[in-house]
Amino acid sequence: MSRRYPDTDVLVFGHSHIPWDATTATGLRLLNPGSPTDRRRQPYCSYMTATVDDGVLSGVALHRLE
């Protein structure tokens, strides 16, 4: 992914409905919020919130829906 998006710090993606929060070896942050309506092989539904301060990602939280 880092080669495809060399000037990107954070990449948010979906479609799989599977929560994901990882950082690649080159520092690219990969985020998938999951889904609040379709848990798709997961034990819970989920959504994600993120905080950006002055263009810098300063906080990410995955929220589970019971």
- The pLDDT value recorded for residue 3 is 82
CB atoms within 10 A of CB 51: 10
Instruction: Give the residue numbers spanning the domain of 59.
Output: 10-65
Does a structural domain hold residue 38?
A: yes
Q: What is the pTM of this model?
A: 0.84
Does a structural domain hold residue 60?
A: yes
Give just the sign of the alpha carbon dihedral 26, 11, 64, 42: negative
Q: What are phi and psi of 11, to 5 degrees?
A: -125, 115
Does a structural domain hold residue 5?
A: no
- The pLDDT value recorded for residue 6 is 84
Residue whose structure tokens are 């950006």: 52
Distance between CA 3 and CA 7 in Å, rounded? 9
- How many domains are contained in the chain? 1
Residue by residue, pLDDT tens for the chain (66 residues) are: 678 878 899 999 998 889 999 999 988 999 999 999 988 888 899 999 999 999 999 899 999 998
Does a structural domain hold residue 34?
A: yes
- The pLDDT value recorded for residue 41 is 85
Does a structural domain hold residue 2?
A: no
